[in-house]
Amino acid sequence: MPIQTQLTRLLGIRHPIIQGGMQWVGRASLASAVSNAGGLGILTGLTQPTPEDLREEIQKCRQLTDQPFGVNLTFLPSITPPPYKEYAKVVIEEKVPVVETAGNNPGEFIKMFKEANIFTIHKCVAVRHALTAQRLGVDMVSMDGFECAGHPGNDDITNLILLSKTSKTLNIPFVASGGFGNGQGLVAALALGAQGINMGTRFVATKEAPVHDNIKQALVNSDERNTTLIFRPFRNTSRVFKNKVALEVNAIEKAKKEDVVFEDIRELVSGERGRTVFEVGDQDAGVWTAGPVMGLIDDVPTCQMLLDRIVSEAEQIIQDKLLTTIVK
């Protein structure tokens, strides 16, 4: 029997699995494949250099799937911020059914999306942030534990605690993010009160991900110990693949301690260098996000194969282990 939750019912998808927004990775080829496989694919808005480029990517995705998909918009402090409102207007004009927001001060954008009847999911790393998002009117939150790639926050709370506390605190549904890549994780997330899972790193290691094969194989060949945390001194912690560049950033941050400034590492962590990693396949070309779920990645399947396997594993665990144990 298919696993149906509030996530599947509200979004009209077959499986309670979301492909989270990922810079340089969340393109139409991947998002459409995830949606066609029964999950919710997500285009990363700011991967597209202009709002009109995003419009074209949305239209391309719509040509590749007739299933629901979403767009991620991440709002970050910047000296020269992107034209966020223009990106948001494109999402609204193109009638994208779902938006995944992340970052700081999303209130005015959440209001825009809600007025356009777009289902809105906001990424949070702490229960207090989720309560704020709930107050702002989002439909659902994605709770990102310390295990997640990218920005796990600064509280260092793992999902075992974070999700359980969220389930007791929120009045709106939530999905779990960080460390998920198999059926065991899906069942655990459901047991902790989530309505599904959000996966990033696991989807990078799929056939349809627009990423060089060298990087996919790096995920297969690495284990759960192969990440490191950067930007800790700036209280903007980011979990990335432990490569030469990331370790150089760590060394600078450690050596300069409280005297470190972003200019000390700016060139090492530039977004363009990260883009080169995925396009050229040189895992040491720059910093790139990856999570400890690498320890659970043993192959590079299609998105269809991956989602079918995760759901099948979860169904078997529920039927053969949990239900049997309860009956006994």
Q: Where are the beta strands (DSSP E) in the chain?
A: 17-19, 41-44, 69-75, 98-103, 119-124, 140-144, 174-177, 197-199, 227-230, 238-241
Structural domain contains residue 153: yes
- The verdict on 259 and 117 lying in the same domain is no
**Proportion of the chain in helix, strand, coil states, percent, rounded to 5:** 50, 15, 40
Residue ranges for the chain with pLDDT beneath 70: 1, 323-328
- The verdict on 15 and 88 lying in the same domain is yes
pLDDT of 148-164, one tens digit each? 999 999 999 999 999 99
Pick the last residue of a domain from 176, 210, 244. Answer: 210
Total number of domains in the chain: 2
Structural domain contains residue 264: yes
- The verdict on 191 and 283 lying in the same domain is no
Structural domain contains residue 296: no
Q: How many residues does the chain have?
A: 328
- The verdict on 78 and 203 lying in the same domain is yes
pLDDT of 5-49, one tens digit each? 999 999 999 999 999 999 999 999 999 999 999 999 999 999 999
- The verdict on 184 and 76 lying in the same domain is yes
DSSP-assigned states of every residue in 97-162: SEEEEEES--HHHHHHHHHTT-EEEEEESSHHHHHHHHHHT-SEEEEE-TT-SB---SS---HHHH
- The verdict on 82 and 194 lying in the same domain is yes
Cα–Cα distance measured from residue 326 to residue 328, given in angstroms and rounded to the nearest whole number: 5
pLDDT of 211-234, one tens digit each? 999 999 999 999 999 999 999 999
Structural domain contains residue 314: no
Q: Could you give the 3-state DSSP secondary structure of residue 136?
A: helix
Pick the last residue of a domain from 183, 210, 237. Answer: 210
The reported pLDDT for the residue numbered 324 is 60
Structural domain contains residue 270: yes
Per the structure, the complete domain to which residue 152 belongs is given by 6-210
The reported pLDDT for the residue numbered 304 is 98
Structural domain contains residue 92: yes
The reported pLDDT for the residue numbered 45 is 98
By the 8 A CB rule, do 192 and 159 touch? yes
The reported pLDDT for the residue numbered 235 is 92
CATH of the domain at 46: 3.20.20.70
